[in-house]
Structure 1
Amino acid sequence: MDRILVMGSPGSGKSTFARRLSQITGIPVVSLDALYWKPGWKPSDATEFEARVTEAVRLPRWIIDGDYIWWAGDVRRSVADAVIWFDLPRRSCMVGLMSRIATSYGRVRPEMAEGCPERINVEFLRYVWTYRREQRPKLLQYLEGLRADQFLICFTDRAQAHRYLASFGRREGAEGVH
């Protein structure tokens, strides 16, 4: 797998997973949040964002962290080898989000654009709270467009993601031994 989409609700752990997978594989991470947001939490316009995403997917290897399926989603899906989907319950995502806010409030996280420090935003909290009801059906429809030769890996809790990374790391290490 050289081109991997990591998708799911904010707070699910997908960015942390993408960074760890990158450390194991050496495949660079592309954060859609970093491509979308400008300093001061100013959004990119659709044309600019799509151009950035399209440029990123031309790279030979990537792990793309984020959903944004309404902008250049078809382009990403068409060239991806795999989708790793964090389909976690609302409670897990809200706990993850609160933990993230508590540990990085006022600082720019590694996957964010410069000038976009972590903050508390009621609109964003509402987005995460309603993700399973509002966004998940759209993501399921998006995933229906995967081809038979593309992999879909679904995690329904963080422990599955941790085990996957641990086993992936062992496979990589075992290959180096032989």
Structure 2
Amino acid sequence: MERIAIIGCGGSGKSTIAKRLGRALNLPITHLDAVYYDENWQPLPQDQFAARQEKLVAAERWLIEGNHASTLPIRLAAADTVIFLDLPAMTCLWGIVQRRLRYRGGQHHQDGVFDRITWSFVRYIIGYRKQMRPKVTALTQQHAPHARLLTFTSRQQANKFVTEVTTGA
């Protein structure tokens, strides 16, 4: 695992898994939200965002976490491992509540997360498996047939995998 793309719904634990795996494998970690948004939570133009990702995936080793389906093919085509956190909506909603309790709102510059809970974000999470999962699955099949695909449907599965990687078990 030298080039890992971690994808999944908001609140699924992408950043947490990325930090743990990045440490275990000594991989540089990129949180896409930190690339996409500036300090005022304004997004980059799409062409600049895509260009930055093209540069990131040209490196020999990397771990990139984030959804951003519009540029997902860039990461998928270069990844040797794709980790899809396909967790239930209630788990992801609990994840954003935990993040709120931990960070108390606002943007976190270290991982680019903006802890802002809106009704549109809640609706996105609730509808993710029905609306986004088919798109993510299709993009993965199309752009990453060469990659090892690991799909986790619970935090326990994802944590067990990271523990195994970390301990070499």
3-state DSSP of counterpart to 1:92: helix
Relative to the length of structure 1, the TM-score reads 0.87
Indicate the residue corresponding to 2:134 in structure 1: 137
What is the CA distance between 1:127 and its match in structure 2? 1.4
Partner of 2:15: 15
Q: TM-score, length-normalised on structure 2?
A: 0.92
Instruction: Return the letter of the residue paired with 2:61.
Output: R
What SS does the corresponding residue of 1:7 show, helix, strand or coil? strand
**CA–CA separation in structure 2 for the residues paired with 1:125 and 1:136:** 16
The one-letter code of the counterpart of 2:132 is Q
1:133-171: CA deviations, max 9, x gaps? Answer: 211111111121255531001111001111111111121
In structure 2, which of residues 131, 138, 156 is the aligned counterpart of residue 159 of structure 1?
Answer: 156
- Match of 2:55, SS state, is helix
Equivalent residue, structure 1, for 2:53: 53
Match of 2:73 in 1: 74
Taking only the aligned residue pairs, the percentage that are identical comes to 34
2-side partners of 1:120 and 1:78: how far apart? 32
User: Deviation per CA, 1:95-146, whole angstroms, max 9, x where unpaired?
Assistant: 1111111211234333107xxx522222222211211121111111112125
Question: Larger Cα Rg: Structure 1 or Structure 2?
Answer: 1
Alignment CA distance shift 1:148-1:41 (3 Å):
closer
CA deviations on 1:45-73 (whole Å, 9 max, x unpaired) are 111111111111111111110121212x2
Distance 1:64 1:16 in 2: 12
* Partner SS for 2:52: helix
Q: 2:73–2:143: 8 Å Cα contact kept in structure 1?
A: no
Which letter does structure 2 place at the counterpart of 1:52? R
- Asked if 1 retains the 8 angstrom alpha-carbon contact of 2:76 and 2:144, the reply is no
Q: Tell me how far apart the structure 1 counterparts of residues 136 and 158 of structure 2 sit (CA, whole Å).
A: 19
| Structure-2 separation of matches of 1:121 and 1:148 | 35
Matches within 5 A, 1:1-178: 1-71=1-71, 73-109=72-108, 110-112=110-112, 117-171=114-168
The question of whether the paired residues in 2 share the 8 Å contact of 1:22 and 1:28 is answered with yes
> What displacement does 1:75 show?
2.2
Instruction: Tell me, in whole angstroms, the C-alpha distance in 2 between the residues paired with 1:126 and 1:6.
Output: 22
CA distance in 2, matches of 1:147, 1:58: 16
Distance 1:40 1:148, change over 3 A: closer
For residues 94 and 53 of structure 2, the distance between their equivalents in structure 1, rounded to whole angstroms, comes to 29
